[in-house]
Structure 1
Amino acid sequence: MSDDHSNEWYYNVKTGKVEPYQGDKAGDRLGPYNSPEEAARALEKVQERNEAWDNDPKWNDD
């Protein structure tokens, strides 16, 4: 694994801000993402994935 984290961006769920690798503790962040713009969409991406899983018949055991 590479030690170069220069292109890693995270969304901090506590602060609502995008931050580089050298940021807050991992438990408060989503990522890594390849750009600050992608990281800024982290909550949207989570919602999209949750909706996809909720509507996936392979995972629907109701």
Structure 2
Amino acid sequence: MSESDPEYWFCLKHHTVEPGAGCRANDRLGPYPSEAEAARALEKVAERNQAWDNDPEWNDEA
């Protein structure tokens, strides 16, 4: 992203999308290139966790 492109973050504390400046970094996921993608942040986390849980290279229970 260039400096002129907006960045969006998902605030874990407030469960809202925030542009640029917002809550502290430890409470946010991102940056995302669009507000819509930031709104899907928790869905994306769940999808990645499921993929990793089912990946035999990362599954210690195999």
TM-score (norm 1): 0.90
Aligned equivalents of 1:5, 1:22: Cα separation in 2: 14
Aligned equivalents of 2:47, 2:26: Cα separation in 1: 21
Q: CA deviation at 1:4?
A: 1.9
- Amino acid of the structure 2 residue aligned with 1:18: V
Deviations 1:5-57 (A, max 9, x none): 64110000000100011111000000000000000000000000000000000
TM-score (norm 2): 0.90
Give the ranges of 4+ consecutive aligned residues of structure 1 lying more than 3 Å apart after TM superposition. Answer: none
- Which runs of no fewer than 5 residues in structure 2 stay unpaired? none
Aligned residues: 61
- Give the CA RMSD over aligned residues: 1.6
Q: Is the 8 A contact 1:12 1:30 kept in 2?
A: yes
Matches within 5 A, 1:1-62: 4=3, 6-62=5-61
- Which runs of no fewer than 5 residues in structure 1 stay unpaired? none
Aligned equivalents of 1:52, 1:43: Cα separation in 2: 14
